[in-house]
Amino acid sequence: MHDQAERAGTAEPLTGAAIRFDGLGVSFPVAGGGSYPAVAPTDLEVGGHEFVAVVGPTGCGKSTLLNVAAGLLAPSTGRTFIFGAPLAGINRFAGYLFQQDAVMPWKTARDNVAIALEVAGVPRSEALERAQVWLKRVGLSAFGDRYPHTLSGGQRKRVGLAQVLIRDPKILLMDEPFGPLDAQTRQIMGNLLLRLWAGDRKAVLFITHDLEEAIALSDRVVVMSAGPEARIIGDYAIDLDRPRDASEVRLVPRFHELHKAIWDRLRAEVLKAYGEEVG
């Protein structure tokens, strides 16, 4: 594949888990002294071609884990290994799809996608050509000249997806990427993601608060407890057949069994998170 030539680190063979958290804990300083222990020391592994979804109540530190894996946030304790090597600075193997709009509003959709290659030294004309190919893949071939404010929320997410995937990262980090979208658009985006992912099955760490979405998309669902000192309290293999359709898979009996099993574990934590907010 053409894109593969640009892969970061093709020279060295990649071994081991794509992401491994080793006793990783994060606490944030609090105004007035002291610190808030957001995530208790946690171990987690994401395999080289594994799609792992993390679910948990709001404010449980799911996004914190993701920012650590991206190298945007330094953990307070423990270490992160990316393909066996300790992570220092920005994670060059990873592409990050943010919850909020992250495309540059001053660039057109095509320029936004092309810039991801240009910063790596690809000549502009070639970058623009390949950006057009990716815009087509995410269903935006006619929207290349549009500025982000003229696109819908779902279309902006597609631009973001193309921007991340054009670099062909080995690891995809996704922070409730479809959270702000309406239910129909979420399922369409879920299918788009599954279709693109099926090509080379990158390692994915997918954060969501939507359990159905998590089961529909992933190979494994990890459940986190309510914060403070959030930790992993459940790890479920999702043995649904692939390729899947993100909407139709919800009708399969096995989906409901899995959903019930995980939700039983999750519910207590969600109630705890609410209880603390209310009380």
Partner 1 sequence: MSRTGLLLLQVLVGVVAVAIWHIGATVPIGGYFFLPKFFFSTPVDVALRIWELFAEGTAKIATCTEPIDLTRLLSISAPCFGRTVWQHLLFTLIEGLLAFVIGAVAGVLIGFWLARHPLLSAVFDPYIKMLNALPRVVLAPIFLLWLGLGIWSKVALGFTLVFFIVFFNVYQGVKEVSPTILANARMLGMNERQLFHHVYWPSALSWMFSSLHTSVGFAIIGAVVGEYLGSAAGLGYMIQQAEGTFDTTGVFAGMVILAVFVLIIDWFVTLAEKRLLVWQPPSAAGQG
Q: Which residues bind partner 1 (CB under 8 A)?
A: 70, 72, 90-92, 94-96, 98, 100-108, 115-116, 119-120, 147-149, 160, 163, 167
**Cβ atoms of residues 118 and 129 within 8 Å:** no
- 254-267 b/e (C-beta count within 10 Å ≥ 16 → b): ebeebbeebeeebe
Tell me whether residue 37 or residue 61 sits nearer to partner 1 (CB atom): 61
Tell me whether residue 107 or residue 265 sits nearer to partner 1 (CB atom): 107
Distances (CA, A) of 26 to 62, 64, 77, 78, 166: 11, 8, 7, 9, 31
Q: How far is the CB of 194 from partner 1 (least distance, A)?
A: 22
Q: How far is the CB of 116 from partner 1 (least distance, A)?
A: 5
Q: How far is the CB of 96 from partner 1 (least distance, A)?
A: 4
Alpha helix (H) ranges present in 16-173? 62-70, 109-118, 124-137, 153-165
Tell me whether residue 82 or residue 103 sits nearer to partner 1 (CB atom): 103
Q: How far is the CB of 103 from partner 1 (least distance, A)?
A: 8
Q: How far is the CB of 102 from partner 1 (least distance, A)?
A: 4
Task: Give the Cα separation of 91 and 167 in Å (integer).
Answer: 13
**Cβ atoms of residues 105 and 149 within 8 Å:** yes
Tell me whether residue 159 or residue 273 sits nearer to partner 1 (CB atom): 159
* 123 CB-contact burial (10 Å; exposed 0-12 / middle 13-18 / buried 19+): exposed
Tell me whether residue 92 or residue 265 sits nearer to partner 1 (CB atom): 92
Q: How far is the CB of 162 from partner 1 (least distance, A)?
A: 12
Tell me whether residue 94 or residue 194 sits nearer to partner 1 (CB atom): 94
Q: HSE-up of 224 (CA within 13 Å, CB side)?
A: 32
**Cβ atoms of residues 53 and 214 within 8 Å:** yes
| Distance in angstroms between the alpha carbons of the first and the last residue of the chain | 56
Q: How far is the CB of 236 from partner 1 (least distance, A)?
A: 29
Q: Is 201 left (phi over 0), alpha (psi -120 to 50) or beta?
A: left
Tell me whether residue 52 or residue 113 sits nearer to partner 1 (CB atom): 113
Tell me whether residue 37 or residue 148 sits nearer to partner 1 (CB atom): 148
Q: How far is the CB of 241 from partner 1 (least distance, A)?
A: 33
Q: Which two tokens stand for residue 117?
A: 């290659």
